[in-house]
Amino acid sequence: MQNDNLQRRLLLDIPSGFLLLFFVLPLIALVVLSFWQTENYKIVREWTLLNYGTLATESAYITFFLRSLAMAVGVGVALVAISWPIAYYIVRYGGRYRTIFSLLLVIPFLSGEVLRLIALQGMLGPAGLVNGALIRMGAAPLRMIMYSNAASFIAFIYLYLPLVITTIYLSLINFDFRLAHAASACGANRFRVFTEVVWPLNLSGTVVGFMLAFIPTLSASLVPRFLGGPNGTLYGMSMAQQFGESGTWALGAAMGVVLFLFSAIALAILSFGVDLRRTGFTGLGRQ
């Protein structure tokens, strides 16, 4: 009994302590800082709403935020649309190789994110592989993909595609495809088998995949820095600058709080908006 208690305490207290120390406390620090001020690289400990006022009124920040939001939604939707067929084909037709296929998806993660972005710069830049080839052939280079929001978009897709495919793959591999046969025997054509059975029963996995792309895109700073160009500043990049060159930490903290709240809201909408019962969730796993 004594032993049991000790075990339970260890199992519960250690992770809880860790989360408290390295997750909750920094978050509180961030919130506190967002209500202070920074002047000449020094923190002024006076309570004020000035930072939030700046964020809500200055058009640059509003633009950055809306651009980030649009980017995150666009990237999330595009990734779900691209990942579904890929994951579906791996699960259905991968046969005994499907584990290997799903592992192959992880390969890009073996190098760092910065490295992958530099590689992408090489692909998309003015002298990059794509435009270089176009110029060689005597065609005009694609300005669209040179240091632009389109370039950032391509980079986000590239970065998070493996995550979303893996999530949807894991959902589909646990899906009982005999249910699709049952629907077919009930008179459903292929399209309706998908819309009535396959899609709804994999909706939770799809939402998780969407969120895994949406949240990091919303706060991304590296991608716009490397590929976004002059009109590609995103909210996260601007936030990083507050903590770096400009030294306006308090404003940066306020931006962090805004991002946190928005991600939390998006998560809440999607998790409460999806009726788990309607995605076949029983709390008991597949039966």
For residue 112, give the 3-state DSSP assignment: coil
Residue 197 CB, shortest distance to other proteins, in Å, is 6
Residue 202 CB, shortest distance to other proteins, in Å, is 10
- Output 230 or 283, the one with its CB closest to other proteins: 283
The one-letter code for the residue type at 35 is F
Residue 274 CB, shortest distance to other proteins, in Å, is 11
Pairing of strands 42-44, 37-39: antiparallel
Distance, in Å, from the CA atom of 248 to the CA atom of 46, rounded to the nearest integer, reads 15
Distance of CA 280 to the CA centre of its chain: 25
- Output 183 or 253, the one with its CB closest to other proteins: 183
- Output 170 or 222, the one with its CB closest to other proteins: 170
Give the count of beta carbons closer than 10 Å to the beta carbon of residue 263.
17
Residue 100 CB, shortest distance to other proteins, in Å, is 22
Tokens representing 119? 């590689």
Tokens representing 101? 């296929």
Q: 263: closest CA among 65, 131, 57?
A: 65
Distance, in Å, from the CA atom of 66 to the CA atom of 267, rounded to the nearest integer, reads 18
Task: Give burial (CB, 10 Å; 0-12/13-18/19+) of 134.
Answer: middle
Binding site for other proteins (CB under 8 A): 176, 178-179, 181-190, 192, 196-197, 200-201, 277-280, 282, 284, 287
Q: 263: closest CA among 223, 236, 233, 231?
A: 236
Distance of CA 125 to the CA centre of its chain: 24
Q: Quick check: 213 and 156 in contact, CB under 8 A?
A: yes
Give the count of beta carbons closer than 10 Å to the beta carbon of residue 55.
20
- Output 58 or 275, the one with its CB closest to other proteins: 275
- Output 143 or 278, the one with its CB closest to other proteins: 278
Residue 195 CB, shortest distance to other proteins, in Å, is 11
Residue 286 CB, shortest distance to other proteins, in Å, is 9
- Output 243 or 281, the one with its CB closest to other proteins: 281
- Output 24 or 186, the one with its CB closest to other proteins: 186
Residue 268 CB, shortest distance to other proteins, in Å, is 22
Tokens representing 285? 């796993």
